[in-house]
Structure 1
């Protein structure tokens, strides 16, 4: 089969490999599309050390072509979207059966756009932050795949005001399509908010943005940290101050959840999938690349020039 490997020199190479065989609890999927996500930049840049050469790719859509032990043989032929630990940038990928969801009549290209971003955005709103009707929500990286989905989930949850933070004016124009009430440029946060306090802040950035977000929480407000796009530097929170104001600093880690409680992550992915299928939530694929152009796709994501979701066309 054709596959892209990430080699020890941090370069992507298209090569031929043997097709993998599913083990217990796994399915093999003939990949139609693979989603590009931030984890790809982290692996490429060495923040998640993995043995090289390595077939990257963490989300895929396609059809099940084989199943391992303890998996229902009737899943063969099923159209699915899947969360994987690696290998999605190949013609065949192995995925945990528990994190492989049937998509019914949903187009495979649309299903590939769900990836890890959809359950992450759903959980940020409903599980971690528990957004209540009328609350205000601020979302960093508002034009990305998680941000655009989180804004829509927040609106469905009844949020009264949704503010987004983006890096450029072009990204603000793009994010405006997804129901934000106000969009700020990164350099405008938090000064442009004036005295406004927020019930919920969703923060994949870290660093000074996280410190500022904590300071901007309303009484009983919650900041959910789910990444560190900024340089890795510690953010200190005084538990006494948090207690005094009833505020909370929470974390969310979908990768860890997939290993400790995959059924929970799968349930959130299913809810998100159903909302997309029903037309209540939309995904937005803004770029499609061939398998041999993966390096360009990942680099554009790393540079912040990608809005919405990028996918790799495999089949």
Structure 2
């Protein structure tokens, strides 16, 4: 089968590889579309140590083509979104059966955009932060795939005020379409907030931004950390200081959750899929790429030139580059 290989020189190439076979508790999925996400930038740039050459890709939609031991054969042919540890940028990918989620009538293109980002946003708001009715929420990277969903989940949870932070005026205009009450530019944070404090802050940035976030928590506020897109500078936290104001710092690691408690991740994903199917939240797929454009897509994501969600078209592999739209 054809697959995209991440090589030792950090470039991508299309090559022929052996088709994977599902083991016990696994399924093979014939891929239609694959989602492009921040993990792709981290793998390419060496933040996750994986042996090269390597078939990247962590989320895909398609049909189950084979099942391993312990998985009902009736699942063959099922339309699913699959959350994987690798290999989604290929004609076939293997995934845990528990994380190959039936999508019903949801279009395969939309399901690829669902990926890891939608259950992550749902977990950040409802499990890690436990947003309550009437609370205020601050969300960084507000125009990204997680940010545009987190604002919607926060609204459904009853948040009274939701503020976003983005990197440009164009991204601020884009983010505002998803329900933010106010969107700040990165250079306006934190001074542009005046004395405002927040019950919940979602932080995928780190470094200096994380230190500002800690100071912007209201009493009993929760800072939820789920990434380090701004760098890996350590941030020291005064636990006694947090205690005096009832504040909390919570982390969320979806990849670890998939490995330790996949059933919990699957339950979250099913709830998020149901909300998407009912039209209570919406995904925005802003760019679609062909296999030979993956390097461009990942670099645009790293450079902050991508709003919403980008996907890779695998169906019709030999048809050339996909048109962006």
- TM bucket (normalised to shorter chain) is over 0.9
Aligned pairs for 1:151-300 within 5 A: 151-300=151-300
TM-superposed CA distance for 1:303, in Å, is 0.6
Compute the TM-score of the two structures, normalised by the length of structure 2. Answer: 0.96
Q: Where does 1:4-15 land on structure 2 (aligned, <5 Å)?
A: 4-15=4-15
Give the match's secondary structure for 2:143: coil
Deviation at 1:66, TM superposition (A): 0.1
Query: Aligned equivalents of 2:72 and 2:117: distance in 1?
Result: 27
TM-score of the two chains, using structure 1 as the length reference: 0.99
**Alpha-carbon distance in 2 for matches of 1:236, 1:189:** 20
Secondary structure, aligned partner of 1:280: coil
The alpha carbon displacement at 1:269 in A equals 0.7
Deviation at 1:62, TM superposition (A): 0.2
Gaps of 5+ in 1: none
Deviations 1:153-194 (A, max 9, x none): 000000000000000001001101100000000111110110
Extract unaligned runs of 5+ from structure 2: 316-325
**Mean Cα displacement is larger for which, 236-245 or 34-43?**
236-245
What is the match of residue 322 of structure 2? none
What displacement does 1:240 show? 1.2
User: How far is the alpha carbon of 1:237 from its aligned partner?
Assistant: 1.1
Q: Following TM superposition, by how much is the alpha carbon of 1:239 offset from its aligned partner in structure 2, in angstroms?
A: 1.0
Tell me the alpha carbon deviations over residues 74-93 of structure 1, each in whole angstroms, 9 at most, x when there is no partner.
00000000100000000000
Give 3-state SS (helix, strand or coil) of 2:114's partner: coil
Alignment of 1:2 with 2:2, yes or no, is yes
Over 3 Å off, 4+ runs: none
1:74 matched to 2:74? yes
State how far apart, in whole Å, the 2-side matches of 1:299 and 1:216 are. Answer: 32
Equivalents in 2 of 1:297, 1:192: separation in Å? Answer: 32
Please give the alpha-carbon distance, in whole angstroms, between the structure 1 residues aligned to 2:310 and 2:230. 22
Q: CA RMSD in A?
A: 0.5
